[in-house]
Structure 1
Amino acid sequence: MTPLPKRKLSKGRRGRRRAHDAITARNLVACNNCGEMRLPHTVCPKCGFYKGREIVSVDKAED
C-alpha cells in the first residue's frame, strides 16, 4: 500500500512551501565585446555579438 496524506494541505501552507523557489536572481555575465551585462549563452542585446562574432546587426542610433 502506498502512503497517502492524511489531510489536504491548505493553499496557504502549500504556497509558503513553494514561495522561495521562484525568487532566485538571474545569472548575468559581461559581454566580451561591449562589457554590457547579459544572460549567458545568448546574443548581447546591446551590440549583437556572441562568442566574438556579430550575429545580429544592431543600429547605432538606439544608443
Structure 2
Amino acid sequence: MGGVPMKHHTKSKVGRRRSHLSLNPCQISACKNCSYPIRPHKFCANCGNYKGKIVMARKLKIKKS
C-alpha cells in the first residue's frame, strides 16, 4: 500500500503550526559617514567605516593606458 495520511489536517491547525515560520524584514540604517544604506553591526561597503573608524580601505581601480 502507498502512503496515506492518517487524519485530515484542517486549515486552522496547519495555520497555527505555520505561525512561527514567518520572517522579519531586515533592519536597514544609513551610514553616518556617507549615508549609504547598511545593515546593523556591519561595516559600510561604500566607504569602509564602522562606528566612525575606517576598518576596510577602499580599493582604487588603476586604469591601464
In which range does the TM-score fall when normalised by the shorter chain?
0.5 to 0.7
- Percent of aligned pairs with the same amino acid: 28
Task: For residue 59 of structure 1, report the CA deviation from its aligned partner.
Answer: 2.0
List runs of 5+ in structure 1 lacking aligned partners: 1-6
1:1-63 paired onto structure 2 within 5 Å: 13=14, 17-18=18-19, 21-22=22-23, 24-61=24-61
Structure 2 unpaired stretches of 5+:
1-6
The CA deviation string for residues 19-61 of structure 1, in whole angstroms up to 9 with x for no partner, is 7512x21101100111001011111111110011100001254
TM-score by length of 2: 0.59
Q: Which runs of 4+ in 1 moved over 3 A?
A: none
Q: Looking at CA atoms only, which structure, 1 or 2, has the larger radius of gyration?
A: 2
What is the root-mean-square deviation in Å for CA atoms of aligned residues? 3.1
Q: How many residues align?
A: 52
- Greater share of helix: 1
CA distance in 2, matches of 1:46, 1:60: 12
